[in-house]
Chain A
Amino acid sequence: MSGGFPEALQFSFAAWVNRLVDWLVLHYGDHLRTVSDQLLQLLLGLENLLRLLPWWLLLVLVGLLAWHASRSLARALMLPLLLALIGMLGLWDKLLQTLALVLVSTGLCVLIGVPLGILLATHPLARRLILPVLDVMQTLPAFVYLIPVLMLFGLGKVPAVFATLIYALPPLVRLTELGLAQIDPSLLQAAHGLGASRWQRLRRIALPLALPSIMAGLNQSVMMALSMVVVASMIGARGLGEDVLAGIQTLNVGQGVEAGLAIVALAMVIDRISQAYGRPGR
């Protein structure tokens, strides 16, 4: 059933990929699981820290953060209220687990994404090589890399962080690069003339000017990380996604909607705060 395409020209590299994955698991499985345990400690630490906070203190902190970011009283009241709503639905602990997962993945995104964006903006060759990789990361169906990542790093939160990272990293890289590319070159030349070093030019001029764009990228990354929460629950990462998944699998539409709306509420809170920080001239 080859649909008319000449058989002599057909080939399959599936067997080769299967052998590669088996080989990786056998030879690097132990090391990678040690790495994965360390990342897990970080995640669990953050999770337990969030659990130690009394619920009202977390709401107050979010309110203060919203006020600091936007100077709007309405927002400072609305956003904690949204989180409180998730708690009222009985999803507080799952909310904390999801929040920890999103925070760690986003933190890693910033650590990797911003330097990568700077590299892309300053080196045309790197740009040409890395842009197609970003395309692949954004479009390859998650399950294709999820299962091999799971076999290498074990079931649970760590492969979920990696999967989220793969999916959520590209917008931050792209927007960091865009922000840096849009800076007026004469500004940098002037700084050069005044004797500023490369690092000083980057740190004092380029990054502050590109900040709105970088924050927009970070905002996009967080949103995409949240949209991966359900996929993450498919490989055993607990949190709000688990309830959505269980709701779908048992035709319990109500449970799915509750948990789904909780994800939306969390997304709105993070989105409004991070957008307010990215607004220029705040």
Chain B
Amino acid sequence: MKKVPTLLASLLLAFGLASTDSAAAAEQPIHFGAIGWESGALTTEILRLIVERGYGYPTDTLPGSTVSMEVALARNDLQVIAEEWAGRSPAWVKAEQAGQVFALGDTVKNAEEGWWVPAYVIKGDPARHLEPLAPDLRSVDDLKRYPQVFDDPEAPGKGRFLNSPSGWTSETVNSQKLKAYGLNDLYNNFRSGTGAALDAEIAAKIKLGKPVLFYYWSPTPLMGRYDLVRLEEPPFDAAAWATLTDPANPAPKGSRSLPAKLSIGVSKAFRDAHPELVAVFEKVDLPIDTLNKALARMSETRQKPRDAATAFLRDNPAVWKAWLPADNAAKVEAGL
């Protein structure tokens, strides 16, 4: 009698193997990385809509952290990462050198990072009865005159600069910039712990109409949602940038951050199998203001990325029709 379970088990196993085989023979969906941050989530859905409607390929998403998605892309477990800050992580650089992954196109031009304040700190806001607390604030140099405006309760007498969480690359750069701009004794270098905490603190301060000085980046919902002013920094200089990225450098020099290049990451297998999609991905170009506005609406109305992407394609046909051939574009449009 002992044989029956074994027999059953092997039958089941054989059946299971056969069924995965047949599934593989049928069309495998194209797997996109399910990016958690807003701009990445929206871009992913825009690309999926184009691939599904315009070319008829099924698609799917798999969740993961940034690094684990990059590793999965190198192994072709994922085929596409819709927003890849190529060259920033060691995992990506290694895979790119080995020819396993490719960064296509330049999807968002003028993506940037830097230091920002809400516009009402400089101009005031009569509608909300807010005085202009730092009327002459234009550049990072002017911050020397206003530490009391951005008062930090945890370090009395100093201003608070909201840095990114410790552990992010930008945290090192910002700490070095504080030194370079001579602000170290005037401002408390406040690491925000997590991205969510940074967002929540900025949003709460803006709701209350309080001054706040913070590191941030674009494209993001925050940029489209609020009227923010970026503080001017010295123009980008490669030598100065090297002193900013090295935390051990005692005398860093000021410079704007390295312009960010956002691309679409694809696996080698995908690049070989779908040249027609590669051609589309290389042309993708999302204007940053339109994108920021769409992201702001998505976050404000708590829209699902899928719905936001449909609305984006419907409202901005001129933006995306340039990326793909006319008959495929017509198919996408018919599906909206």
Binding site for B on A (CB under 8 A): 14-15, 18, 22, 25-26, 29-30, 36-37, 40, 44, 143, 146-147, 150-152, 154-157, 233-238, 242, 245-251
**Quick check: A22 and B154 within 8 Å, CB to CB?**
no
Q: How far is the CB of A103 from chain B (nearest CB, A)?
A: 17
Q: Pick the contact of A236 from B191, B207, B208 — CB < 8 Å? A: B191
Q: How far is the CB of B238 from chain A (nearest CB, A)?
A: 24
Chain B residue, CB-CB nearest to A43: B154
Interface string of B25-66 (1 = CB under 8 A from A): 000000000000000000000000000000000000000000
Can you sample 19 A-B contacts with CB below 8 Å? A22-B207, A25-B204, A26-B207, A37-B153, A40-B154, A44-B154, A146-B197, A147-B196, A150-B197, A151-B203, A155-B200, A235-B192, A235-B193, A235-B194, A245-B165, A245-B167, A248-B167, A249-B168, A251-B67
Interface string of B190-233 (1 = CB under 8 A from A): 11111011001101100110000000000000000000000000
Is B166 interfacial (CB-CB < 8 Å)?
A: yes
Q: How far is the CB of B214 from chain A (nearest CB, A)?
A: 10
Beyond A37-B153, A156-B154, whether A249 also contacts B166 by CB under 8 A is yes
Beyond A30-B208, A246-B166, whether A154 also contacts B153 by CB under 8 A is yes
**Quick check: B167 and A26 within 8 Å, CB to CB?**
no
Query: Which residue of B154, B165, B192 has the most chain A CB atoms within 10 A of its CB atom?
Result: B154
Q: How far is the CB of A38 from chain B (nearest CB, A)?
A: 10
**Quick check: A29 and B154 within 8 Å, CB to CB?**
no
**Quick check: B208 and A245 within 8 Å, CB to CB?**
no
Q: How far is the CB of B292 from chain A (nearest CB, A)?
A: 21
Residues of A within 8 A of B192 (CB): 155, 235-236
Is B302 interfacial (CB-CB < 8 Å)?
A: yes
How many residues on the B side are at the interface (Cβ–Cβ under 8 A)?
A: 22
Chain A residue, CB-CB nearest to B192: A236
Residues of B within 8 A of A234 (CB): 193-194, 197
Q: Pick the contact of B208 from A18, A29, A44 — CB < 8 Å? A: A29
**Quick check: A147 and B200 within 8 Å, CB to CB?**
yes
**Quick check: B208 and A25 within 8 Å, CB to CB?**
yes
Q: Pick the contact of A242 from B166, B200, B201 — CB < 8 Å? A: B166
**Quick check: A155 and B207 within 8 Å, CB to CB?**
no
Beyond A44-B154, A157-B154, whether A25 also contacts B197 by CB under 8 A is no
Known: A25-B207, A29-B204, A151-B200. 16 other contacts (CB 8 A): A14-B302, A29-B208, A150-B197, A150-B200, A154-B153, A155-B193, A155-B197, A155-B201, A235-B193, A235-B197, A236-B191, A236-B192, A236-B193, A236-B201, A247-B167, A249-B165
**Quick check: B193 and A237 within 8 Å, CB to CB?**
yes
**Quick check: A233 and B204 within 8 Å, CB to CB?**
no
Query: Which residue of B168, B192, B197 has the most chain A CB atoms within 10 A of its CB atom?
Result: B197
Residues of B within 8 A of A29 (CB): 204, 207-208
Whole-angstrom distance between the alpha carbons of A236 and B152 in the complex? 13
Whole-angstrom distance between the alpha carbons of A97 and B197 in the complex? 20
**Quick check: A233 and B193 within 8 Å, CB to CB?**
yes
Residues of B within 8 A of A150 (CB): 197, 200-201, 204
**Quick check: A15 and B193 within 8 Å, CB to CB?**
no
Residues of B within 8 A of A44 (CB): 154
Residues of A within 8 A of B203 (CB): 151
**Quick check: A151 and B204 within 8 Å, CB to CB?**
yes
Chain A residue, CB-CB nearest to B91: A251
Whole-angstrom distance between the alpha carbons of A37 and B156 in the complex? 11
Query: Which residue of A29, A30, A156, A157 has the most chain B CB atoms within 10 A of its CB atom?
Result: A156
Chain B residue, CB-CB nearest to A30: B208
**Quick check: B193 and A245 within 8 Å, CB to CB?**
yes
Query: Which residue of B67, B153, B165, B193 has the most chain A CB atoms within 10 A of its CB atom?
Result: B193
Residues of A within 8 A of B168 (CB): 249
Q: Pick the contact of B201 from A154, A233, A246 — CB < 8 Å? A: A154
Residues of A within 8 A of B154 (CB): 40, 44, 156-157
Whole-angstrom distance between the alpha carbons of A236 and B214 in the complex? 14
Residues of A within 8 A of B191 (CB): 236, 238, 242
Whole-angstrom distance between the alpha carbons of A147 and B201 in the complex? 9
Residues of A within 8 A of B208 (CB): 25-26, 29-30
Residues of B within 8 A of A147 (CB): 196-197, 200
Whole-angstrom distance between the alpha carbons of A15 and B154 in the complex? 33
Beyond A155-B201, A236-B190, whether A249 also contacts B167 by CB under 8 A is yes
Whole-angstrom distance between the alpha carbons of A235 and B191 in the complex? 9
Residues of A within 8 A of B194 (CB): 234-235
Q: How far is the CB of A166 from chain B (nearest CB, A)?
A: 17
Residues of B within 8 A of A242 (CB): 166, 191, 193
Whole-angstrom distance between the alpha carbons of A255 and B192 in the complex? 19
Whole-angstrom distance between the alpha carbons of A100 and B37 in the complex? 35
Q: How far is the CB of A151 from chain B (nearest CB, A)?
A: 4
Residues of B within 8 A of A30 (CB): 208
Q: How far is the CB of B170 from chain A (nearest CB, A)?
A: 12
Residues of A within 8 A of B166 (CB): 242, 245-246, 249
Chain A residue, CB-CB nearest to B162: A155
Chain A residue, CB-CB nearest to B166: A246
Q: How far is the CB of B12 from chain A (nearest CB, A)?
A: 25
Chain B residue, CB-CB nearest to A233: B193
Interface string of B109-140 (1 = CB under 8 A from A): 00000000000000000000000000000000
Q: How far is the CB of B162 from chain A (nearest CB, A)?
A: 8
Q: Pick the contact of A250 from B167, B190, B197, B204 — CB < 8 Å? A: B167
Whole-angstrom distance between the alpha carbons of A156 and B162 in the complex? 11
